[in-house]
């Protein structure tokens, strides 16, 4: 049986990705800020912006599974405020939840990945995020986009996917300055696409429309 390690497993997309993987007979290990929110899943807690917590979660995963076949980074946070009213602390926290978290997860979880394994990072259509009040979030997602693209080029031996998403109907949008856009995808469509990318070995930048 293949094993996947999902970071951000309690989020709308993390849960849907977990469900799609389980339907495909994949064993899922979950990491969430609060493992209590993940009843029924083999999981542990970590704040993904705190390096020793990410390292401990990866040690736990190594003890559970030895190595993993798929890593999924599905954590992040949206927040809105005009740039002039965004404090340095709020900016740092938002960038950490969206970008530092990916960096720490990659540093500590990639050593667990089977050499034939695959990493998937959820990204966004960064050029469509330039809305008033979303400056800090848009900058975080643009940073993540660039960060994954460089990772792909630096580590060509490993399959890595930046899966760019349009709007998806999750609780993320309760923190947006406007309602969920019409035509938003269902989280399960994203879960199924993650499984497809992995099964078909689709690496690089993949745009889900």
Ligand X SMILES: NC(=O)c1ccc[n+]([C@@H]2O[C@H](COP(=O)([O-])OP(=O)(O)OC[C@H]3O[C@@H](n4cnc5c(N)ncnc54)[C@H](OP(=O)(O)O)[C@@H]3O)[C@@H](O)[C@H]2O)c1
Q: Per CB under 6 A, does 80 bind ligand X?
A: no
Spatial CA neighbour of 42 closest among 20, 24, 52, 57: 57
With contacts defined by CB under 6 A, name the span among 47-55, 82-90, 108-116, 149-157 that binds ligand X.
47-55
- Measured CA to CA, the distance from residue 79 to residue 67 in angstroms comes to 35
Q: Per CB under 6 A, does 191 bind ligand X?
A: no
Q: Which is nearer to ligand X, 66 or 175 (CB)?
A: 175
Contact 46, 54 (CB under 8 A): yes
Q: Per CB under 6 A, does 49 bind ligand X?
A: yes
| End-to-end C-alpha distance for the chain, whole angstroms | 31
Q: Which is nearer to ligand X, 29 or 115 (CB)?
A: 29
* Tokens coding 93: 């926290």
Q: How far is the CB of 203 from ligand X (least distance, A)?
A: 19
Q: Per CB under 6 A, does 48 bind ligand X?
A: yes
Q: How far is the CB of 140 from ligand X (least distance, A)?
A: 8
- Measured CA to CA, the distance from residue 128 to residue 198 in angstroms comes to 26
The 3-state DSSP class for residue 200 equals: helix
Binding residues for ligand X, total number by CB under 6 A: 27
Q: How far is the CB of 4 from ligand X (least distance, A)?
A: 16
With contacts defined by CB under 6 A, name the span among 57-65, 79-87, 97-105, 108-116 that binds ligand X.
97-105
Q: Per CB under 6 A, does 136 bind ligand X?
A: no
State the residue for tokens 């709020």.
90
- Measured CA to CA, the distance from residue 58 to residue 76 in angstroms comes to 18
Contact 69, 118 (CB under 8 A): yes
Q: Which is nearer to ligand X, 31 or 152 (CB)?
A: 31
Q: Per CB under 6 A, does 167 bind ligand X?
A: yes
Contact 6, 72 (CB under 8 A): yes
Binding site for ligand X (CB under 6 A): 8, 10-14, 32-34, 47-49, 74-77, 97-98, 101, 122, 124, 165, 167-168, 170-172
């Amino acid at each position: 049986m293949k094993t996947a390690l999902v970071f951000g497993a309690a989020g709308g997309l993390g849960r849907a990705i977990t469900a799609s993987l389980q339907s495909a007979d994949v064993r899922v290990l979950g990491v969430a800020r609060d493992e209590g929110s993940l009843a029924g899943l083999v999981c542990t807690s970590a704040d993904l912006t705190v390096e020793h917590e990410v390292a401990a979660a990866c040690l736990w995963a190594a003890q559970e599974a030895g190595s993993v076949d798929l890593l999924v980074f599905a954590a992040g946070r949206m927040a809105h405020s005009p740039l002039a009213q965004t404090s340095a602390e709020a900016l740092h926290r938002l960038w950490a939840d969206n970008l530092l978290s990916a960096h720490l997860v990659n540093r500590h979880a990639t050593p667990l990945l089977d050499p034939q394994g695959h990493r998937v990072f959820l990204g966004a259509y960064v050029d469509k995020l330039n809305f008033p009040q979303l400056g800090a979030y848009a900058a975080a997602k643009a940073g993540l986009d660039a960060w994954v693209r460089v990772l792909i080029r630096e580590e060509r031996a490993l399959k890595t996917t930046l899966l760019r998403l349009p709007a998806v109907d999750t609780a993320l949008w309760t923190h947006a300055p406007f309602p969920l856009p019409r035509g938003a995808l269902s989280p399960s469509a994203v879960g199924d696409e993650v499984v497809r990318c992995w099964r078909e070995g689709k690496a690089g930048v993949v745009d889900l429309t």
